[in-house]
Amino acid sequence: MSLKKLKYKYLTFRKAVRNAERNLKVLENSVSTHIDPEFIIEDCKLEGYNCLFGMGRVYRCSIGSFTYIQHGSNIANTTIGRYCSIGPNVIVAQGEHPVSYLSTHPIFIAPSYIHGFDSLTEKKLFETSKSVTIGSDVWIGANCYIKDGITIGHGAIIGAGSVVTKDVPPYTIVGGVPAREIRKRFDEGTIAKLLDMAWWNWPLEKIIENKNLFQQSLNSSMIHLSA
């Protein structure tokens, strides 16, 4: 075996060990959380009762309780609320490129990350990344892309395969390329009451006591009774 191959295998093994150590540290600080060994977590905070499945990556993220992320997803610089359902292969906040410059390549506007090549600049000349905010009780279908700087409101649904380039209001269903509004989940009055109710902030004991509210179609009297 060549020295180059041996070095590559060693670096791959060392990276896997480091990832396992990071995951164990997260597990020690989270309540009842499941993380598959292949899932990469870097500089993240998990509130607890989370599940991260398969091979994926979250970087500089805050993830609310009971939120789960399916395999193949790559999410960066994102605040994710509670009780979110994130499907497989969801890509969030992976950076932007300058479209009005001579070239879109980042080597000209940021310190180089290309091995063996000196940087052409020592500081960022273009803001390549912006944080994303995903509210609570959001469902994101498989194979979605969410652009940097986007805010997705509480209770929204993002249809599978969507490309989200604009903010999504609360309790709105969107889909398509680019994603457009399909309909609201409820009427405006009900949405206002739900946002005021903010059930995702209830203590777990209250949610368990009122579990019947979550197990049937919603009506206005149910919101009144749960207040």
Tokens of 87: 């499907």
Q: How, if at all, do strands 180-184 and 172-175 pair?
A: antiparallel
Cβ neighbors of 139 (< 8 A, separation 6 or more) are 84, 85, 156, 157, 158
Kindly report the number of other CB atoms within 10 A of residue 61's CB atom: 24
Q: What is the DSSP string of 69-98?
A: E-TT-EEESEEE-SS-EE-TT-EE------
Please calculate the CA angle 155-177-125 and round it to the nearest 5 degrees: 90
Residues identified as active-site: 97
What is the C-alpha separation between 143 and 149, in angstroms, rounded?
19
Q: Cα–Cα distance between 203 and 207 in angstroms, integer?
A: 7
Q: Are 34 and 49 within 8 A, CB to CB?
A: no
Place of tokens 């457009």: 180
Structure tokens at 187: 């009427």
